[in-house]
Homo-oligomer: A and B are copies of this chain.
Amino acid sequence: MVKIYALCVHLIYSGIVQRSREELKAIRETNPGLKPTLAIIQVIEEILRLNEDSRVHGIFLHLPQSFLSKSVRNAIKPQKDVKVMVKVTLVRGNLNIQNFLSCNSSLDAPLVGKMAVLLGLEGPLKVTLQFLLQNNGMMVQTRQWSSKHFHFEVFTKMFVAAVVICQHVVRSSRRWIQEQQYQPWRLRPLKLQPLSPVPSDIEISRAQTPKPISQLAQEIGLLPEELEAYGNTKAKVHLSLLNRLQHQPNGKYVLVAGITPTPLGEGKSTVTIGLVQALSAHLKLNSFACLRQPSQGPTFGVKGGAAGGGYAQVIPMEEFNLHLTGDIHAITAANNLVAAAIDARILHEATQSDRALYSRLVPSVNGVRCFSPIQMARLQRLGINKSDPSDLTPEEIRAFVRLDLDPEKVTWQRVVDTNDRFLRKITVGQANTEKGHARQTQFDIAVASEIMAILALTDGLGDMRARLGRMVVGSSRNGQPITADDLGVTGALAVLMKDAIKPTLMQTLEGTPVFVHAGPFANIAHGNSSVLADKLALKLVGEEGYVVTEAGFGADIGMEKFFNIKCRTSGLTPDVVVLVATVRALKMHGGGPNVTAGVPLPKEYINENLQLVADGCSNLKKQIQITHLFGVPVIVALNVFKTDTQAEIDMVCRIAEASGASAAVQCHHWSRGGRGSVELAHAVKKVASQKNHFQFLYNLQDSIVEKIRTIAQKVYGADDIELSPEAQAKIDYYNQQGFSALPICMAKTHLSLSHMPEKKGVPTGFILPIRDIRASIGAGFIYPLVGTMSTMPGLPTRPCFYDIDLDPVTEEIKGLF
């Protein structure tokens, strides 16, 4: 149910009434024309203050009519109006009138009569007004105000005004309640006039003027207080929306995955964006794209932007690719605070006695020593049920103050959002001030931080805070896992991440809504955008709408993790998978020569070659089968390049449908925008309406080895798995620590279904080697390493930044693509 609160503006009344008429007159004479204005300004100030106070849902304007100027009324946000009750008590001598004035009351005759009597009498009149909050049906008394000097004129004005306003309040309460409900969209798409040849991404992005983000928000039914604009083209959306629309049914949930890609990528992001442009702008169906926020580092390296491409883009693409709303910066700050805390703690423990550590960790403040809440939590984990610092035994003090982190077993790494290869292996702590406690460690790219994986999987502030606290940063010399909670840093991490948890709203080239939120690394984490963005979007699109999200890498990795990790965490079930294929990648799988970034494509990829396509469809078929393992229907979206021939296109669609795809369609979003994906949109609409039988691939209760083997055999097509001694030891350790019931997040190359990037098509007859196993306990998964995963990209000899520039006059950016 909707909760309604009320609050009153009565400062003017108190101001007027506490002054005698003579005093007021004097004020008016010394400040000609000033006083009434000033008073109204005060009212408006108070209203504006209440408008911004999210705890106050309503304002009761308790003013004389002369104050009910348009400016006063306009100052109130519509949603601030509420039902109120005012308890009025009049006392003169031993006469006493008490009346509740509610929204529906009018001045009844007996009351007016009694009032007249009372006001006509001699002697001091005491009036008491008590404002009552009506909160979900329960009456709560608030501040009481009374006065001994009360004038008839003022009083009657007050009553008349109160009745008028009460009626207004009833009307606007109704409106307010209505506004809390789901709002149908009134989306006004932006027109797109694709040029040929297709200009560069930044040129296309710049040629389209995005709608003000507040307008887009209004069009899709967001309330103003649910939006925090960051400039005119980006805004964070409050999670309170989930609460407001909790009874609204979800829309359809569409996952875009891909076949095993070439190193150039096959266009999953553009398919995703093209699809929502088609659904929203052309089929007039509510739809939302939920995308990952790209790492900023690679924007200046080789990769370029990640906002889609051609006429299927998120705009402004430079905002999307750069700082956005600072989420990755917040992750970097939080991640590195943990790292600094770890090394500082190791140093402090190594150089101080138990006693010194204890007196510093639990200092006497104004003569009082006490544990902070996070220290109490650590005591509980240690089994020490004491709350007075003076009660601890020396042994307990030792256990409490010494995390005893083994510097060799610190697993937490620092991060930067820069392609900085020289930070792949470093030695820290070499200054004299660190007293010889140097150790070898590394920096990862920021999106590889476990905090990013947490952001992507969390369902709210409380859950995020708990996950941050559970993060294991290393282990003690006696093998106990040490967590962020043990370091005392959890609350600070939550504070640093308080804004990052809100998804960022942007728009496509055709003015349809997009959430950009979280971008965990696809090789060591699950490579999917956030659960929260998907949940918000599913509510916003409504029952007949569509949320399209994307899984990184090929379906064997990104989609498998989407189902087994993300859907398991969120409880959401997908309605349809769109599997992206390209003739280029299929030719590669059919035996075509190597495809390398920065090198011209061999002629096999430029000229028609039906044999290569036909052979390469083995990979497509296998990925379709993988999708069916999860009981979800699949549509193949062939992302058409200009070199593809009709015969090649027809062949892929034919084989895809013969392999069990519910549909197979060609997409031209890159050159034509949403119009080029209308056929795909129709297919999605049709297939998503069918009931499916979603199921996970494994149970969490299976052993770690079983879970890995299931993925390796059923998804990758391996004969079996082979554990290194390190991997076996880790499994034993995780079993012992009770971490065995977590899902598995495979860290495997995306360039082959197997662990060998050069094996294309559908490799068979291989044993998947598990080199090592790690765990992200806060994020909540175990990640086996299959081969070496780079977590820090480098800069090439000529990085993108050579072409990037800013025009100081027009402020236009050049060279992003």
Of the residues B191, B209, B326, B440, contact of A329 by C-beta under 8 Å: B326
Q: Does any Cβ of B come within 8 Å of A283's Cβ?
A: no
23 A-B contact pairs sorted by A residue (CB < 8 Å): A48-B211, A49-B211, A52-B210, A53-B209, A322-B496, A340-B419, A340-B421, A341-B795, A344-B421, A344-B422, A357-B797, A360-B798, A361-B797, A363-B798, A373-B805, A375-B802, A414-B420, A421-B433, A424-B430, A462-B809, A489-B801, A495-B806, A498-B806
1/0 per residue, CB under 8 A from B, across A14-42: the answer is 00000000000000000000000000011
Which residue of chain B has the shortest Cβ distance to A446 in the bound complex? B333
Q: Please, which residues of chain B bring their CB within 8 A of the CB of A816?
A: 495
- For A340, give its contact among B322, B362, B418, B428 (CB under 8 Å): B418
Binary interface encoding of chain A residues 329-343 relative to chain B, with 1 for a CB under 8 A from any of its CBs, else 0? 110110011011101
Chain A residues 394 to 418 lying within 8 A of chain B, measured CB to CB, are 414, 416-418
Q: Are A228 and B232 in contact (CB under 8 A)?
A: yes
Asked if A386 is at the interface (CB within 8 A of a chain B CB), the reply is no
Instruction: List chain B residues, Cβ under 8 A from A318.
Output: 495
A658: CB under 8 A from chain B?
A: no
Cα distance A229–B229 in the bound complex, in angstroms: 6
| B499 touching A323, Cβ below 8 Å | yes
- Chain B residues with CB below 8 A from A296, complex form: 333
Does A111 belong to the interface (CB within 8 Å)? Answer: no
From B230, B361, B805, contact of A494 by CB (8 A): B805
Most B CB within 10 A of own CB, among A357, A362, A419, A804: A804
The interface centre, meaning the residue of A330, A362, A422 with most chain B CB atoms within 10 A of its CB, is A422
User: In the complex the two chains form, what is the Cα distance from A801 to B345 in whole Å?
Assistant: 13
In the complex, which residue of chain B has the Cβ closest to the Cβ of A330? Answer: B323
A246 at the interface (CB under 8 A from B): no
> Chain A: how many interface residues by the 8 Å CB criterion?
110
B795 contacts A340, CB within 8 Å? Answer: yes
Find out whether the CB atom of B340 lies under 8 angstroms from the CB atom of A804: no
A414 → chain B closest CB, angstroms: 8
Which residues in chain A, 795-817, are within 8 Å of chain B measured between CB atoms?
A: 795-806, 808-809, 811, 813-816
Whether the Cβ atoms of B430 and A425 lie closer than 8 Å is yes
In the bound assembly, the distance between CA atoms of A419 and B340 in angstroms comes to 7
Q: Is A763 an interface residue (CB 8 A)?
A: no
CA distance in complex: A53, B494 (Å): 38
> Considering the complex of A and B, which 8 residue pairs feature the smallest CB-CB distances, nearest first?
A491-B805, A462-B808, A492-B801, A329-B329, A424-B431, A340-B420, A425-B431, A461-B808
Give the copy number.
2
Q: Would you call B361 and A215 a contact (CB within 8 A)?
A: no
Q: Are A806 and B465 in contact (CB under 8 A)?
A: yes
| 8 A Cβ contacts from A416-471 to B | 416-431, 433-434, 437, 440, 442, 460-462, 465
**CB neighbours of A427 from chain B (8 A):** 426-427, 430
Bound-state CA distance A425–B427 (Å) is: 9
Within the assembled complex, what's the spacing in Å between the Cα atoms of A18 and B236? 43
B802 pairs with A422, CB closer than 8 A? no
Per the bound structure, the CA–CA distance linking A418 and B420 in Å amounts to 18
- Assuming the A-B contacts A318-B495, A341-B795, A498-B811, are A428 and B423 also in contact, with contact meaning beta carbons closer than 8 angstroms in the complex? yes
Q: Does A242 sit at the interface, judged by CB under 8 A?
A: no
Q: Does A212 contact B (CB under 8 A)?
A: yes
Q: A230-266 toward B: CB 8 Å interface, digit per residue (1/0)?
A: 1110001000000000000000000000000000000
Complex CA–CA separation, A661 to B230 (angstroms): 46
How far apart sit A424 and B352, CA to CA, in the bound complex (Å)? 21
Question: How far is it, in angstroms, between the C-alpha of A565 and the C-alpha of B148 when the chains are bound?
Answer: 63
Q: Is A723's beta carbon under 8 Å from chain B?
A: no
Q: Given A326-B323, A333-B417, does the pair A803, B372 have CB atoms closer than 8 Å?
A: yes
B801 contacts A491, C-beta separation under 8 Å: yes
| Chain B residues, CB < 8 A from A326 | 323, 326, 329
Measured CB to CB, the nearest residue on chain B to A214 is B229
Q: Which residues of B contact A236 (CB under 8 A)?
A: 231
Cβ of A544 within 8 Å of any chain B Cβ, yes or no, is: no
Query: Taking the complex as formed, is A44 at the interface, i.e. its CB lies under 8 A from any CB of chain B?
Result: yes
Does A44 lie within 8 Å of B188, measured CB to CB? Answer: yes
Q: Which of B229, B460, B797, B804 is the one whose CB lies under 8 Å from A495?
A: B804
Q: Which residues of B contact A814 (CB under 8 A)?
A: 491
State whether the Cβ of A769 lies closer than 8 Å to any Cβ in chain B.
no
With A460-B808, A494-B806, A808-B460 already in contact, the answer to whether A422 and B428 are too (CB < 8 A) is yes
* Residues in B whose Cβ lies below 8 Å from that of A323: 326, 329-330, 333, 496, 499
Interchain nearest-CB distance for A268 vs B (Å): 26
Chain B residue with minimal CB distance to A364?
B600
CB of A495, distance to nearest CB on chain B (Å)? 5
Q: For the complex formed, measure the closest distance between the CB of A202 and the CB atoms of chain B, giving whole angstroms.
A: 11
Give residues 350-407 of A contacting B (CB, 8 Å): 352, 357, 360-363, 372-375
Contacts of A726 in B (CB 8 A): none
A47 to chain B, nearest CB (A): 11
Establish whether residues B336 and A418, one from each chain, have CB atoms under 8 Å apart when the complex forms: yes
Name the contact of A231 in the complex, choosing from B230, B421, B488 (C-beta under 8 A).
Answer: B230
Question: Would B491 and A420 count as touching, CB distance under 8 A?
Answer: no
